[in-house]
Amino acid sequence: MRRCTRFSRVVWLAVVGVWLLVAPAARATHIVGGELDLQYRSGSTYALTLNLYFDAINGSPAALDNNMQASIFEKSTNQRMQNITLPLTSNTFVSYTNPACTSSSLSTRKLIYTVNITLPAATYTSPAGYYVAVERCCRNQGLSNIVNSLSAAQAFYLEFPAVVRNGRPFLDSTPRIFPPLGDYACRGELFYYDFGGQDPDGDSLVYDMVTPLNGHASTGNSSPTQAAPAPYAPISWVAGLGTQNQIPGNPTLGIDARTGRLMVRPTQLGLFVFGVRCTEYRGGQKIGETRRDFQLYVLNCPRNTVPSLQLSSSAGVPYRPGRDTLRLVAGADHCLRVRFTDPDANSRLTVTLRPINFTTPVPTFTTATTGVVRGPGTPDTLTARFCFSECLDSKGQVYLLDVIVADDGCSLPKRDTVRVAFTAAPPPNAAPQLTTSFPPGLNAQDAPPITVRVPVGTTYSATLAGLDVNGDPLTLTAAGQNFDLAAAGMTFTAQNGRGQAAGTFQWQASCAAQQFPDMVVTFRLQEQATCTTLSQTRTVRFELVPTPDTVAFLPPNIITPNGDGKNDAFVLPDLPPDLCDGRFGGIAIYSRWGREVYRSGSRSFAWSGVGVASTYYFLITYTDGRRYKGWLQVNP
């Protein structure tokens, strides 16, 4: 709450005053913590980064390094592989979780030192892997849980695997762990922070507490030109504290191995350093780790009472956590009312929702979720309303939703949570029905496509009808697969409506459609339901075929070339027509012994025989492969 800001200023000035009495050297009282990071870029290139957290209040600007020195070692032999200079590339402040709790006497900078490095595949092959180290002195003065903090140094440490495994590239990037911490903790109050990270390679991450490393740096050699090889000496805990008890508390400081959630209820005032390790596994084998050292202040804070909330139905029926299970079905009330308050004056409260064992759709608020209580002109109790989606389907399971109210208290908000148990079933919805006048076999969903063959120069029509028993809006569409309907001479018109739809398909089959060798059309009936949207589809393949002969092709088979004007020549005025690319190619006439006696490429040919009574044979060809054979008797 805002009243914490004034209190924090007084306390922090007192704390700073104590430190100033000691008057440490400027280069010896500035390191808050940090961690190393290694990210794969491409080829053999990686980005090596040191994130260093700097005390912006007590650290002298002269102690801020423009570059840091890192060293890489082979893990099994401690052989030095290379030294690297990391230039300073960024200098920003670490943010508070709650900006209203910011204190001018508590400020941490995040310094980023980074450079691209090369890890050649022919060099970084050790099965044991490698480690990177940066050594620097010194830590902040006045740390409550380690011995002689003024001269305690720091060793930043990271492990990574070989870049090849079994003769193949083995790519790995350091998990991007836990955002930096800008907050302080209050004695006797639960403090929590999400240190959980993300791994770009999808490796499994495990978190644990570790003792911070002191290393080899000292007040006499605060910034070594290169890191020494492992082992690195740990810091020395004060009596009664250790790795699993780094900050005295009930509970003491700990971290969830799976989620990385840090938690402590501190019982002593002071400034405490702590160490956290994130280990990554792939295929059940450890491949690397990174560590972070950091600090946490513990103060006496003003009393901050926990806010509270209650839930009820829209009709005012209270929801009893742990006893009631909501049944969300069609026609039931899908909304809950939230009443929330705080005994403290001028508390700004915020209500949020957190799904536990489901993801979407998340319930939504229909009212404001933030407000002030117990202030001048403000109510003692606020209300909000949220509603579950009618489309939510728990599939018979009990879903859990946390409704959370949080205040703006310092250093972290106090919260009250009510867990809602519910089941949900969407309204029933039957699939729409699609019928067509296409050939039989196409009126079933998932039926195999049928082929409709349409002669050139004719028009093919079909009708489609959609029906939805739920009365949902329906839409009929038609689309060509990899071709445009209009370009092929096809049209589709639809009359869409609620519960019913009708469509008409027409194809003016012309030679223009020959450019589309595979004309497949998908007809779709789509409903626009509130929840589950269902559809029906039909797929038809259309083929262009030649027009059937309007006159049966029965050529005369007797000619009498005697000059009487009757059957004097062999002519074929009723040849099958030319169609698109299928045109008349020619005629050849042969004697009964196979000798060609006549050939012509004209449709208007006329052959009057060779003056010898005999039987002859003809072959007519078209450019599309059509062939017509027959015989002819010549009687002079």
HEC sequence for 411-424: CCCCEEEEEEEEEE
% of the chain surpassing 90 pLDDT: 65
Predicted confidence (pLDDT) at residue 10 exceeds the cutoff of 50:
no
**With contact defined as beta carbons under 8 Å apart, do 1 and 100 qualify?**
yes
> What is the average pLDDT across 283-312?
92
Q: What is the mean pLDDT of residues 21-45?
A: 72
Token pair 């010898």 is found at: 612
Q: Which residues, at least 6 apart from 551, have a Cβ–Cβ distance to it below 8 Å?
A: 574
- Is the pLDDT reported for residue 473 higher than 50? yes
Q: Is the pLDDT score of 596 beyond 90?
A: yes
Place of tokens 């208290």: 409
Task: Work out the pLDDT band at 27, boundaries 50, 70, 90.
Answer: very low
CA dihedral 551, 553, 558, 562 (to 10 degrees): 60
How would residue 188 be classed by pLDDT, with cut points 50, 70 and 90? very high
Q: Residue 7 pLDDT more than 60?
A: no
| Cβ proximity of 171 and 203 under 8 Å | no
DSSP string, 368-386: --EEEESSTT--SEEEEEE
In angstroms, the CA 227 to CA 135 distance is 6
The per-residue b/e assignment along 480-510, b for 16 or more CB within 10 angstroms, e otherwise, is beebebeebbbebebebeeeebbbbbebebe
Report the run of H or E that residue 3 belongs to, with start and end: helix 3-22
Listed range (174-178, 202-206, 263-267) with the worst mean pLDDT:
174-178
129: left (phi over 0), alpha (psi -120 to 50) or beta: left
Residue 1 clears pLDDT 80, i.e. is over it: no
Whether a cis peptide bond, with omega within 30° of 0, leads into 411 is yes
Query: 31, 46, 216: which is closest to 117 by C-alpha?
Result: 46
Position 264 pLDDT exceeds 90: yes
Query: What predicted TM-score, i.e. pTM, was given to this entire model?
Result: 0.62
CB 335 within 8 A of CB 328: no
Between the two ends of the chain, the Cα-to-Cα distance in Å is: 123
Residue 4 has pLDDT above 50, yes or no: no
Q: State the pLDDT confidence band at 590, using cuts at 50, 70 and 90.
A: very high
pLDDT value at 220 more than 90 = no
The 10s digit of each residue's pLDDT in 436-462 is 999 876 556 666 788 999 988 899 999
Mean pLDDT lowest among 24-28, 72-76, 200-204, 325-329: 24-28
Backbone angles phi, psi at 161, to 5 degrees: -85, 170
Q: Is-contact 141 3, C-beta < 8 A?
A: no
| Mean pLDDT, the chain, integer | 88
| Residue 182 clears pLDDT 90, i.e. is over it | no
Strands 67-74 and 80-93: antiparallel
pLDDT (mean) for 86-106:
77
Q: Which pLDDT score, from 0 to 100, does residue 578 have?
A: 76
Mean pLDDT confidence for 548-552: 51
Instruction: State how far the Cα of 420 lies from the Cα of 391, in Å rounded to an integer.
Output: 18
Residue 444: exposed, middle, or buried by beta-carbon count in 10 A (0-12, 13-18, 19+)?
Answer: exposed
Q: Tell me the per-residue pLDDT of 386-423, one tens digit each, with 9 for 90 and over.
A: 999 999 999 999 999 999 999 988 888 899 999 999 99
Residue 21 has a pLDDT of 27
How far is it, in rounded angstroms, from Cα 345 to Cα 248? 31
- Pairing of the two strands 285-299 and 270-282: antiparallel
Q: Is residue 229 within 8 Å of residue 73, measured between CB atoms?
A: yes
At 543 the pLDDT is 93
pLDDT of residue 45: 98
Range in 349-363, 364-378, 440-454, 507-521 with the lowest mean pLDDT: 440-454
243: left (phi over 0), alpha (psi -120 to 50) or beta: alpha
- pLDDT for the residue numbered 8: 34
